[in-house]
A and B are shown apart, each in its own frame.
Chain A
């Protein structure tokens, strides 16, 4: 059962080969068996099973939809009514969300079963899942390596078949990079496609929720339910949601693929370069044309991002002050002391680092040199993409400059850690949709991801292109050893 994709499970549930309760039990048992991966922060079998049974009733009445009864692991960044929602932080270690995020609400309405809340980098700030207050997550492909981040728990859970699908969020690569490092298909939709309401904010102008699945087809199924206009989010775009599964099989003959030369320069592991070239070769076989494009300001995306994201975060995280919810320090002498101790004890080192950088970038006398400069660069980066898309339909390249690295390898060097996002961050800055799909393995057997970048709101095309690729390759069907 656990080897099946969402699409397969949905068909099986519809044919009543097994019930959602049985299916959910299988996954709950696996979650419990593979606890050592530390993929989940919270599991609540009773709650999950209650949802599964309700889904079974819907299916029995013939009222089920595509996702009814499908267990989905939720990144612990999404508020889910009645569920502990920590965002990977101590400061929310006692926070039982009193409302549902729009994504959660939409998946609930679709009949999906919440399988639990997955581990993540604290407030999504990290590329390795090592900043979580709830401990590191292990990569099922090699438990000594990281699963990537920040949606590392979601990625590890789906890769280890502890869940058929999971939600993630992506501010600078947090869906695509872990998908690449764990051999999954992950989609970061266009900014404004998926509601951010109830998705705990890291950097508001960059954050976007999306699915982490085994296949592009499953991503399409999940996105169908997750996407759409939300009146509660002023940045949500009021545009109809197409049925993303309908266009999956379209032919891609004549597709113009742009390869940004900046994505294949130094710093890219040659093994990865080779795998990406091989993947491009497959697309040529499928009839695509390949041409070189240029994203000249891409190399400045990391500096730009590390101003904008921390600046927004420093403000977004001010609400965690111990006054209305969450952790409050136990010993303080006055209000200021309560604030300072609550936040010093409640936030981990990486979060504090980013709060301070962001505070600095916004502070009097530095705003123009940092924040404004970064916003100007952001426009140049977005312009690069606009120009490139005048000559191509999809841009492709590596998702990550390296495969999964060893736990602890980069924790002492934040700058080295930040450079993991070099290929993913520009897409967030431009607000475009991006995807990572498995395209091969390195010599150590660790997965390598191919990144696909689309035009604004062109998710359907990305999913179609990825799906066609997955019909002629089997990288997405590999299971890490010990989990089949």
Chain B
């Protein structure tokens, strides 16, 4: 965050490097049930991000000491492929991915009705195949779709978005360059109906006014993303995809 550079992130008219307006999202595409073995799965393309999510369970939690007698534990694993970034990423969990796994687990646990499955675990595997800023939020958004498609009871869908500050202006959904050379990055995930925050992190500095502006932008954007989630789930059950039973 805040690396010095002479890249101009905003042009004179306020347009961004990729031609977006400050309040414009990158294109998002979600598909579901691509994996045969998993109980639920989703694939998301969010700008340059390409992420596959697989959900297994609820199944009995092992090792046994991780079991909770009152509720299921959500075990999310966020993992970046070695080839997902420009320079080869050393494979395996590192400090960053362990942290992201933890915050995603907690965000999902607040949506999933974990109390219905004592002693169980729900595995959520988030594999980032191509990273382009905002992977934790893209991963979480797809994970929520995968959990719903696995038939796991949830209070609400989880949907998120990021905002940040580049060249002193608040913009929505940071791209790779804006993330690397901007001044702040604010990922927020909410429950899509109640707008209760389930994940919030911030990197860099925002003034109170900027923070309010950024979070308001995110809240507005989550409605659109929630609609994309809905279409992803329902499209395979739409009328066109059914035969006549003949």
Q: Do these two chains interact? A: no
Residues of A bordering B, CB below 8 Å: none
Residues of B bordering A, CB below 8 Å: none
